[in-house]
Amino acid sequence: MKIAGLALVLAFAGASFAAAQQASRHAQTAENDPDLKEMRDYRLSMDNIQKYVAAFKALSNDPTATCLKDNPPGNAKTLAEGDKIIANCGHAVADIRGAGLKPHDFMVMTGALVGDVLAVQMKKQGTIKQYPDTISPENAAFLEQNYDKVQALLAPLMQHQSE
């Protein structure tokens, strides 16, 4: 059974976390905020993006994960608080582990993936000229080289949003 809107909530939760971290970057940077540093230092790969998509789909199809809709981990002030939300939500931890990720990595990856893909997209469109310090040069290069492949992997998540 699919949980209508869970994918949308998780996506917006991750985007909210990344956006909140980005918006407050005048006071917080990847150098002085451990959560931003951890997200920047997380290395994206095709393998971990595939695992992320599988975990996202598993959560979207798990009726016990509706608590993520009520209390999105991306709205937490810190990664640690987001980890606790996931840990206390039904079978969410098992869903994420079943896809080959640790729940904390899922949380970190949500912020990294959303923020980094958005930054690369904005640069490709000419909206920004240089990347913010929250995206590592390695992730920027990886996403630039694999942009179409990554977009194809993330496309099913967008389908879940419209259901």
Tell me the mean pLDDT in the region 3-27.
45
Question: How many residues belong to the chain?
Answer: 163
One-letter amino acid at 100 equals G
pTM for this prediction? 0.80
Does residue 141 have a pLDDT over 90? yes
Question: Percent of the chain beyond pLDDT 90?
Answer: 61
* C-alpha span between 36 and 40 (Å, rounded): 6
Does residue 102 have a pLDDT over 60? yes
Does residue 3 have a pLDDT over 50? no
CB within 8 Å of 108: residues ≥ 6 apart: 38, 39, 42, 79
Model pLDDT for residues 44-74, shown as the tens digit of each residue: 999 999 999 999 999 989 998 888 888 889 8
Q: What is the pLDDT of residue 7?
A: 41
Write phi, then psi, for 43 (nearest 5 degrees). Answer: -90, 120
Q: What is the pLDDT of residue 90?
A: 81
Does residue 17 have a pLDDT over 60? no
Q: What is the pLDDT of residue 12?
A: 43
Q: What is the pLDDT of residue 5?
A: 38
